[in-house]
Amino acid sequence: MTDFLPKEVREGLEMARKRDLRKKSRLRVRVGDEVFTVLRFWETGFALDAEDAPHLRGLVDIYDGARHLYQCLIVASEQAGGEMIYEFKRNTAAVDRAPLDFARDENAPVALLN
């Protein structure tokens, strides 16, 4: 059906679709001091707007608003449909405390009182 629409109308529809995705998405990719809005996110990668996104490669951080979700090692895989597609080489969930190196007893006291 979109083959019958004039070029200007198709471009307008694509711009409206991207604007809608940007408004709905809270996910952001942070590379150094630069921040990019994630248009789509899935288990093995994510997509950014091709006009704004450079060919990112290496370590990036993914945030949901102000909450740090993942630290990822990525590579740009392809550009399709106005989106730059990135794939994860490594995707590690961010935690707010160091992991324990022992098994915690579920009946252990929370704190000691003197």
Domains observed in the chain: 2-93 (2.40.10.430)
Report yes or no on whether pTM surpasses 0.85: no
| Mean pLDDT for the stretch of residues 5-33 | 75
The DSSP H or E segment spanning 10 is helix 7-24
What is the pLDDT at residue 22?
59
What is the pLDDT at residue 60?
93
Give yes or no for residue 20 having a pLDDT over 70: no
Give yes or no for residue 62 having a pLDDT over 90: yes
d(CA 8, CA 4): 12
In angstroms, the Cα distances linking 22 to 28, 42, 98, 104 are 10, 16, 33, 42
d(CA 106, CA 54): 48
Q: Where are the beta strands (DSSP E) in 12-114?
A: 27-31, 34-42, 45-49, 57-64, 67-80, 83-93
When mean pLDDT is compared across 12-16, 37-41, 80-84, 93-97, the lowest value belongs to: 12-16
Residue count (the chain): 114
Choice between 101 and 57, residue whose per-residue pLDDT is larger:
57
